[in-house]
Each structure stands twice: as C-alpha cells, then as structure tokens.
Amino acid sequence: MAHRKLTLKEKYQLMTRGLDWETTYQPMDKVFPYDQYEGIKIKNWDKWEDPFRLTMDAYWKYQAEKERKLYAILDSFSQNNGQLNLSDARYLTALKIWMQGITPAEYNSHRGFCMVGRQFRGAGARVACQMQALDELRHAQTQMHAFSQYNKHFGGFHQAMHMRDRAWYLSIPKSYFEDAMTAGPFEFVTAISFSFEYVLTNLLFMPFVSGAAYNGDMATTTFGFSAQSDESRHMTLGLEVVKFILEQHEDNVPIMQRYIDKWFWRGYRLLALVGTMMDYMLPKKVMSWAEAWGIYWEENGMALFHDLERYGIKPPKYHEIATLEKNHITHQAWTVFYTACPATAFHAWLPQPYELDWLSEKYGETFERYYRPRFAQFAELERAGERFYTNRLPLVCQTCQVPVFFTEVNNPMRQSVRQLDWQGMKFNFCSDGCKDIFAHEPEKFCQAYIPPQQIYQGNAGGARNLQEYAAWLKCEFGKDSGEYYTSEDYARWKQWHGGKDTTPSSAAA
Amino acid sequence: MTVEIKTAHIEPLRLTFDHIEARIGKGRAATRYQEAVHDLQMTTNFHYRPTWEPGMDLFDRRRTAVVLADFDQLIDPRQYYYAPYTIQRARQQELSDANFGLVEKRGLLGALAPEWAQKIRHLIVPLRHLEWGANTNNAFLSAYGYGAPFTSAALMQAMDRLGMAQYITRLALALDGQNAEVLDRGKQLWLADPVWQPLRHLVEDSMVVKDWFELHVVQNLLLDGQLAPFAWTHFDAALTAHGGVGFTLVTQFMRDWYAESTRWVDATVQVAVSESPANQALINGWLGQWLPRVRAAVAPLLAVAFAEHASAIAQQIADELAGRLARLGLVGEV
Amino acid sequence: MRDKVFIAFQQNEESRPIIEAILQDNPLAVANEQPAMVKIDAPGRLVVRRTTIEEKMGRAFDLQSIHINLISLAGNIDETEDEFILAWHGA
C-alpha cells in the first residue's frame, strides 16, 4: 500500500493546488471580482509554475532562523551603542531617507500583496503572493526595529510616520506604490514583482547594503541582506508571473509591454534617490551609481530581456535614455538636496575633497565639467558665511513627483521639462517617459497629490513659505534638517569622539 | 585612527518615535510589538482612487460599518509581529514534524478502527478546503481591513490556515500510504456530498461578504467557534477509544492554534463591541443572521461523526460558544 | 558570449561550503567578493548541487536551506531536492 516517497514538486503540488475549487453557490466572478477588468486573459491557472516550493511549515522554519539571527544582531547593536561604529554620522542621511521613504513602501508592498493574494483566482499565484505579503511585513517591521536605536540618538527619524504622508520628496515613493496598489492585480505584480523587484531592487540591496557594511552599520547590513534573501524569492515570482501571463494568451503581450515600459520608468526615477545614497551619502564608497547601473541594468537587466525576447517582449521604452543619464542624475539630485534640505528631515553637505576626487575618478569629464564647478561655487558661498538654501517651491513632475531638475540627455545645461494640456489644464513632466505614462492614464494621474500645489492651496497647515512648511512637517532646523556641519547630529557625534572631527579622508575603508 | 569613546556619557535624546510616544506617553520605552505595528498604515493624502473600487480611498474606514475612533486599538494580545510569530510557529512545526515522522514510521494511523479511519476520510480530509476558504477570507481581512495591528494579525491567521490545510493534506497522505487519491475523493465529498453542501454553501457566501469586520465575525468567531471544537477536540476525543493516538499526535498543532487564535479573535471583537452600543447592535445583528446558518451547516458533520451522541455534543459546542459570546458582550442565544 | 546568470550569498561560515561547491561544479563561474557578500557570475547557466555541498560539509544538507544566506540571483530557476539550477533560456 505504501507508495514511493513524493518528490518536492509532487509534494508541493498536493499541498497547494487541489485546495481551491470552482465555486457554484456563488459565481466565480463574484468571488474574484477584480482579476478580469485589465483585459489580461488567463485560460488555465493550472499552468502556473511555482517558483519556490515552500510549504508553510518550511516557510516558518527558514524564516524563523533568519529572524533569530537578525534580532541577535539588533540586540547586540543596541546594547553596545552600535551607532558609534559608523564611519561618519553623515551616513545617517541615507538611513533617514530609508525610514521615511522605503520602510513605508515596504509596508505598502505588504498590503498590495495581501490584496493580490486575495484577488487572483489561481491558488498557486495566491499562495506565492501571500508569502510575499508576509515577507514585506517582515521588512517593514525589522526596519522599524533597526532604526529604533538610531532614532534614540539622532534627529530626523522620530517624525518619519508623519513626514511619509506629507513631505514633497516622500511623495515620490508614496505615489509610486499607491499607483501600483490602485491598479489591477496583474499590473500590481508586474510593477512590483517584476519591474521593481527583479529589474531594480538589486541596485538598492546589493551595492547600497554592501556599502552599509563598509560604513560600519551592522544593523542595516543585517536586515538588508536578510530582506534581500526574501527578495530572491520575490524576484523569481516576478519572472514567473510575467512568463505565465505572456504564455497564457497573445493578447496579453501588448498589455504587458505597456506595464513593463511604465514601471521601468517609474522605478528608474524612484531609484535616483538610491543612486544619490551611493554617490553622496556613503562616506566610504563601494561603487558608483553609474557602475551599479552598468552591472545590474546594462548587464543583468539586459540578459533578462534577451530571455523574454521569445515572448515578443522588448526592453522597456526609454531604457537607453536611463543609461545615457547615468553620469548625471545623482549629482543633480544631490544639488537639490543640498539646497532644499531645510524642508526635509535629513542633513546635507558639500562633498569633501576626497569625495570630489572620487566622483571625478568615477564620472570623469562629466563631473569635472558640469558638477564640480557647481560644488566649488557653493563652497565659496559657505566660506563667505552664506551657505546657500533655496526658498522656492519646486515645479514637480505630475507623474513621478520628482522636481523637474533633470536635464536633457543631449544638453546637460538645459532642464528637461515637458508639458501636456488635458481637459483645460496644463501638466508638467520631467521627461518623455513620465509624459507618456500620464497620457495613457490622464484620469488617474490628474488625481495626484502634488505637495507644492497643496502648499499653495493652503493644505499644508496654511504654510506660506518653506520655513512654515518645515514646521508643519515637524522638522526643526539644525535638529532634523539643514546643513550637516552645523547640525546637532554632528555636534553630538564629535562630542562622542572626544571633540574630534571624524570625517574620513579617503573613500576606502 | 583610534578614538576613545566614553560610552558612559551617551544619553538618548528620546526613547521611541513620536507616533509611539503619542500613544504611550513621553519618557516611556516602547515594546518591539508597538514599534512594529502602530501607525504603519498610511492614513491621508492618497494619490489615486483604486481602479478596482473608485468610490473608496486606498485605505478606507468605510469598508466596515463598525466605527472605531482609532482602529489601532485592535491590537493582538499575543503581540505578534513577524519575528515572534514565525519563531513560535517554527517551534510548533518542529514538534509537528517530529510527530508526523513518528506516526509515519510506526504506522500509528494504521491502528485506527476501519470505521473511524473512514470517518477521517469523510469528515476531516475535506476540511482542507474549509481551511483554504478560511485562508481566502483572512487574506481579504489583511487586504481591506483598516490599521496595521489588525491587518498584520489577519495575514498571520491566513497563513496559519494554509499551514493547517497542508497539515491535513499530510495527514490524509499518511493515512492512505501516500496515495493522493484520498485527496481527490475528499475534494469530491466537499463538492458533491450532501453532508458537506450546507457548509460549502456557507463558505462560498462568506467569500462574497464585503464588510471586513462582518467577515471576521463570521469566519474567525462563528465558523471557527463551531468547527474547530468539533474537529480537533470532540472528534479527536471520540477517536481515543478507537486507536486514535496517531491522529492526536498529528493534529496537536490545530488545538494549540485554536486556543491561541481565540485570544486574538475575542480581543478584537471585544474592542469593537465595547466602543459603542451601535457597534454592539451591529455585531449582534450579524450574529442573528449567521449563527443559525453556521450551526445548521456543521450539524450534518456531527451527525455522521457521533451518531446518537451528536445532539449532546452539538449542545456542548453551542454552549461553549454562547458563553464566549456573552463574555464579549454579545447575545449568545439565537 | 552568453548572458550571465548570478547568485549572491552573505559572506559567512554557512555560505562557505555552498560557494565552494558552486565553484567546483561550475568551472566557468567567477566569484566576486564585495563587503559582506559574494556574487558568483556564470555564463548562461549555473547549478547548485546538493551532493557536492554535502561533501564539503561532511553531513546532510537540505537544499532549500540555501535561502537563509542567499542575497540575490538572476536567471530562471528550476529547483528539485538535488539541484538548484539558474539559467537563461533565450537566444
């Protein structure tokens, strides 16, 4: 009577597949009302290939092991004042942006996967999405716990949950995830599992987290790599989702191509923040944004799209533009952060001499010609006691919500601005990519909550200028925001180090 | 460069985040549970209306008729955030795995009286699908509920149900020498056997309930409140006299889970009931609508399982649930 | 030259036998060390073999537990109890 031992594949099949059934007391379309309206055609959910065959008990087992390791490190980190081991307190700006922008995004990703974990009618896809939903909750929570120790000793963390729904620069990640969550389930998984997780998160979790290790931040290194071990499951889900949808019906191909185009561009714009972390916020450098883009997009990303050619999928629209911009965007973004930091919950500064040299080495003539002189000018003003801050509200792209500071690819001296009239209103964009996205869904993107416009309309606590706006965000100048080298963070850091400045003098550890 | 750090002088600026301080007061240290769940969900300045439900915000209090001043009051008494949840379940799965190993190796399910082995195939194996329904419903709660304390616990509940569906699958395979036909027959019973149809009808109806708190009450309070005691307590007890030790070993997870999840379910329902007479009336209304159906749907299973003892056991289960409902400030008798 | 697949692990004692096994089973694979992590690139295809890891470790190894120290990967996955294969299927 005893049968042979079941293989992993067979066992997993039995453990998930037969569980669901075709409902008859209620119509399937009423039980699953949201997985039809995008026009994606699924003929047979049973063709779904489970990327990883984790049963729930195996999931608990491996994830618990990861958590035990992670919290052992977080405990020892806080018991031993691990924040003192950082290379330099400037590094904290990256963590503040992480907590204000990325941790809420992890939470939103969690809820989004809860939604698709209910919305899809295929059992295999739903189980995969539910596990990812639980993983994303893990990421949000472990990040809160890692940052908890930093919050006790530095500014900029304590009001993050207030900032997250209000601050101009946090509207970038917020609108990105809300766009995905308010879309249909197929667009959501393509956006997050495929375009974000598969194509783009390596850029965040590999070079940046490796950089955290380089800069003595064991808390972030540990949660970062531990989170990324879940991501490898998520990325695989992303690839399987896309292949499955493409194989189901040829009509799905153009819809998927549009999702891939849209979400590549939106993700790329979001990652400008990450690139700036790598080039400007890590006191000890690991690799430049341009180098990371070369490895993780030009090499690994293109390999992925070669693999998808057989389905009739082309690399995302405007990817060449992204590659052409790789030598520019981080310098432009940091310039904006440097001048607008009083209206943020982080500090900014001018790159130190060793960093200017490192940037020159990595970006060559581009940096020497366009950006180094600009930083020299700011340094001149600082020496004259006139540290420059902007007092203007920026013009913001209606789609990605990044202020329109990027330049034309063929002319780094000219700002790239696009406009479009829709229903008697004028909308502004940072690029053709963002304008195209709006043009396809104007009813959706005209709804966006654009912070500068909200300020003008009196919806930011009646703030009339950037000072009042910062107060509404609960950002106190010197404590949470403004120049690093005159900040309380810096003063405290120096005091802990016997009054000495610990700014590194070289990019190497 | 070596710099001597005088750690004795390091005084924290604050003990926790502003949003936690606003809840627990200044100068108090927060628990990891508090920092892991409170105010994690966004509440304002949403960018776009959902294309799948344009009349609502992305997160919207109006998705339930229950009104709470603060949905973050729906905390989990177990204080589960991801780490303690997975670590607790990993401990339980280690025990279950050892139990399954023992039962499979020693053929302990073979000791069952044939009549009772048949009852497991008839009454327990199809519960895989009931658990899947519970997974679906709790996924709904995690997706459309309001506030991270509730929705995060609901997702854990959803995953627990998937885990139990898989344990039942493993139990069925162990019972029939790893022959998967036992699962196909179980599914046929779920789909067509008259004993199961009232229950399947009820589960499918619950899957189209739109009010998430109503669904929480129906699935986690009423349906589980009837079914879990039936399958994992009374049925298990009846098997004892018929060679049921193997069954007891491989269903220990379910009993532990039920005792634990009841604490969460009761705590959350109690918060809603005690907030206002309107909530209390609303939830009592749901009880009036669903509880008789739940009892009627479970009755045929009891009849097959316990024959002449069925009505006494049904009464016992009903009394236990009625007592629980009364403690929550709800009407137990319907 | 075929497109590269890659797999990356945390740099620690548990990963060591896994990395050694991969490099032994995939002669074209190249290990690239970065702070706290190791990234292994290979043209077209890479296999992680349970038996080789077990040889290196001298005890039984459950292939699914590579997840614990896995950081990232690129390529289509095919996973069994014995092998974990990463490959590009395209041209």
pLDDT tens-place string over residues A91-113: 999 999 999 999 999 999 999 99
Task: Test B90 with A18 for CB contact under 8 angstroms.
Answer: no
* Chain A residues within an 8 Å CB radius of B86: 60, 63-64, 67
CA distances from B212 to B100, B233, C20, C77 (A): 36, 28, 51, 37
pLDDT tens-place string over residues B206-224: 999 999 999 999 999 999 9
pLDDT of residue A137: 98
pLDDT at B1 over 50: no
The overall average pLDDT reported for chain A is 93
Tell me what the mean pLDDT of segment A31-40 comes to: 97
State the SS3 of A389-436.
Answer: CCCCCCCECCCCCCECCCEECCEEEEECCEEEEECCEEEEECCHHHHH
Could you tell me which chain A residue has the CA closest to the CA of C79?
A52
* Every domain of chain B and the residues it spans: 71-327
Tell me what the mean pLDDT of segment B291-300 comes to: 97
A278 contacts A292 by C-beta, under 8 angstroms: yes
pLDDT tens-place string over residues A373-422: 999 999 999 999 999 999 888 899 999 999 999 999 889 999 999 999 99
Of B35, B44, B184, the CB nearest to A148: B35
Give the Cα-Cα-Cα angle A430, A426, A468 (nearest 5 degrees). 75
pLDDT tens-place string over residues A340-368: 999 999 999 999 999 999 999 999 999 99
CB contact set of B315 (below 8 Å; sequence gap of 6+) = none
Would an 8 Å CB–CB cutoff place C25 in contact with chain A?
no
- pTM metric for this prediction: 0.96
Tell me what the mean pLDDT of segment B288-298 comes to: 97
Burial of A413 (0-12, 13-18, 19+ CB in 10 A): exposed
Would an 8 Å CB–CB cutoff place A123 in contact with chain B?
yes
State the pLDDT confidence band at A3, using cuts at 50, 70 and 90: low
pLDDT of residue C2: 82
State the pLDDT confidence band at B8, using cuts at 50, 70 and 90: low
Which of A14-18, A267-271, A384-388, B89-93 is predicted with the least confidence, judged by mean pLDDT? A14-18
Alpha-helix residue ranges (DSSP H) falling in A80-204: 92-97, 103-119, 123-153, 160-163, 171-181, 185-189, 201-203
Helix (H) / strand (E) element for B133: namely helix B127-144
pLDDT at B40 over 90: yes
DSSP letter at B152 equals H
Nearest to A402 by CA among A474, A473, A325, A349: A325
pLDDT of residue B2: 45
pLDDT at B333 over 80: no
User: Percent of chain A, pLDDT > 90?
Assistant: 79
pLDDT of residue B5: 52
Would an 8 Å CB–CB cutoff place C1 in contact with chain A?
no
The overall average pLDDT reported for chain B is 95
* Chain A residues within an 8 Å CB radius of C82: none
CA distances from A192 to A88, A105, A109, A204 (A): 33, 11, 8, 14
Tell me the sheet residues that pair with A112.
Answer: none
Is B71-327 a CATH 1.10.620.20 domain?
yes
Would an 8 Å CB–CB cutoff place C56 in contact with chain A?
no
A78 contacts B29 by C-beta, under 8 angstroms: no
Of A123, A133, A145, the CB nearest to B35: A145
Which of A26-35, A198-207, B253-262 is predicted with the least confidence, judged by mean pLDDT? A198-207
Which of A202-206, A275-279, C44-48 is predicted with the least confidence, judged by mean pLDDT? A202-206
C and A touching (3 or more beta-carbon pairs closer than 8 Å): yes
Cα(C58)–Cα(C52) distance, integer angstroms:
10
Return the CATH superfamily for domain C4-87: Monooxygenase component MmoB/DmpM (3.90.56.10)
How far apart are the two ends of chain B, measured CA to CA in Å?
76
pLDDT tens-place string over residues B220-247: 999 999 999 999 999 999 999 999 999 9
pLDDT of residue A228: 83
Cα(A199)–Cα(B235) distance, integer angstroms:
51
Burial A266-284 (b: 16+ CB within 10 A, else e): bbbbbbbbbbbbbbbbbbb
Interface test with A, best of C5, C41, C72, C79 (most A CBs within 10 A): C72
pLDDT of residue B334: 45
Domains and CATH numbers, chain A: 54-496 (1.10.620.20)
Tell me what the mean pLDDT of segment B142-165 comes to: 98
Tokens of A85: 């081991």
Would an 8 Å CB–CB cutoff place C26 in contact with chain A?
no
Cα(A225)–Cα(C77) distance, integer angstroms:
20
Cα(B14)–Cα(B17) distance, integer angstroms:
8
Task: Test A307 with C34 for CB contact under 8 angstroms.
Answer: no
Task: Test B155 with A67 for CB contact under 8 angstroms.
Answer: no
B65 contacts B146 by C-beta, under 8 angstroms: no
Q: What ipTM is given for this predicted complex?
A: 0.96
Task: Test C35 with A7 for CB contact under 8 angstroms.
Answer: no
pLDDT of residue A180: 98
Question: Which residue reads 């590269």 in tokens?
Answer: C4
Helix (H) / strand (E) element for C39: namely strand C37-43
Task: Test A61 with B90 for CB contact under 8 angstroms.
Answer: yes
pLDDT at A431 over 80: yes
pLDDT of residue B7: 52
* Every domain of chain C and the residues it spans: 4-87
Cβ-based contacts under 8 A for chains A and C: 96
Could you tell me which chain A residue has the CA closest to the CA of B50?
A182
* Chain A residues within an 8 Å CB radius of C64: 54, 58, 62
Number of Cβ atoms within 10 Å of the Cβ of A80: 12
Would an 8 Å CB–CB cutoff place C80 in contact with chain A?
yes
